[in-house]
Amino acid sequence: MPGLGEDDFARAREADLVPVQLQRDELLLGHCASIWAVPEIEVKQADVTKLEVDAVANAANTELRHGGGVAAAIARAAGEELERESRERAPIGLGEAVETTAGDMPSRWVIHAATMELGGPTSAEIIERATVSTLARAEELGCRSLALVAFGTGVGGFPLDEAARLMVGAIREHSGPTVERVVFAVRGDEAERAFRAAAEEE
């Protein structure tokens, strides 16, 4: 059966009728909306390189040089393949995210989100955009579980409380067909308190 054209829809509107194909499209869209949900949020003190999730996020610089902090720990745990793939994918824009394989880590992917330029500061806008980009990339990769670290709070020097609110807020505004669980893998009591407080806010 051929698809409906603009004239068909115009005549249907004039006759106050809804075409069967349009009804089917609306039902399909309604079904998709009903099965998409905001991911469950979990906060735990953990080594992100040891978590058994589909993907872990790395707070990277735009050159994807993993020289310090959590980025260096992820690079060491993953091995040479991650470094090689990072060189091939760099540079990326601020707030953008790209994936590499996770090498020797239990996860399948590492999603590198650029939260700053090499050695530079970060900002609220960049952290929020990087979180959104990471979630979108995880969806595209078909990930059901994702581990996030505190973007911008290490070398970037961004306040933990504000980073936590921005990142949790981005997750709550996200809905998609695959990502069901987001784990904030934090280190230290201060970081745990900040992210738990953000996650518990109404």
Interhelix angle 160-172/124-140, rounded to 10 degrees, is 40
* DSSP state letters, 58-71: EEEETT----SHHH
Contact present, 127 and 152 (Cβ < 8 Å): yes
Q: What is the pLDDT of residue 107?
A: 98
> Is it the case that residue 150 has pLDDT exceeding 70?
yes
Instruction: Clarify whether residues 9 and 62 are in a common domain.
Output: no
Q: What is the pLDDT of residue 202?
A: 66
Contact present, 124 and 166 (Cβ < 8 Å): yes
- Residue 106: domain span: 38-200
* Number of domains comprising the chain: 2
Instruction: Clarify whether residues 106 and 127 are in a common domain.
Output: yes
> Is it the case that residue 190 has pLDDT exceeding 50?
yes
> Is it the case that residue 173 has pLDDT exceeding 80?
yes
**What is the rounded distance in angstroms from the CA atom of residue 109 to the CA atom of residue 81?**
12
Instruction: Clarify whether residues 68 and 155 are in a common domain.
Output: yes
Percent of the chain with pLDDT over 70: 82
Compute the mean pLDDT over every residue in the chain, rounded to the nearest whole number.
88
**What is the rounded distance in angstroms from the CA atom of residue 172 to the CA atom of residue 168?**
6
Q: What is the pLDDT of residue 17?
A: 42
**What is the rounded distance in angstroms from the CA atom of residue 193 to the CA atom of residue 185?**
12
Prediction pTM value: 0.82
CATH code of 116's domain? 3.40.220.10
Instruction: Clarify whether residues 173 and 137 are in a common domain.
Output: yes
Tell me which DSSP letter residue 49 carries: G
Instruction: Clarify whether residues 12 and 93 are in a common domain.
Output: no
> Is it the case that residue 128 has pLDDT exceeding 80?
yes
CA 120, 150, 99, 50 dihedral sign is positive
Q: Which of 28-32, 109-113, 159-163, 195-199 shows the lowest per-residue confidence on average (mean pLDDT)? A: 28-32
Instruction: Clarify whether residues 153 and 108 are in a common domain.
Output: yes
> Is it the case that residue 12 has pLDDT exceeding 90?
no
Q: What is the pLDDT of residue 123?
A: 97
Instruction: Clarify whether residues 53 and 129 are in a common domain.
Output: yes
Instruction: Clarify whether residues 31 and 113 are in a common domain.
Output: no
Instruction: Clarify whether residues 188 and 137 are in a common domain.
Output: yes
* DSSP state letters, 134-147: HHHHHHHTT-SEEE
**What is the rounded distance in angstroms from the CA atom of residue 108 to the CA atom of residue 106?**
7
Token digits of residue 158: 């961004």
Contact present, 58 and 113 (Cβ < 8 Å): yes
Percent of the chain with pLDDT over 90: 75
> Is it the case that residue 174 has pLDDT exceeding 80?
yes
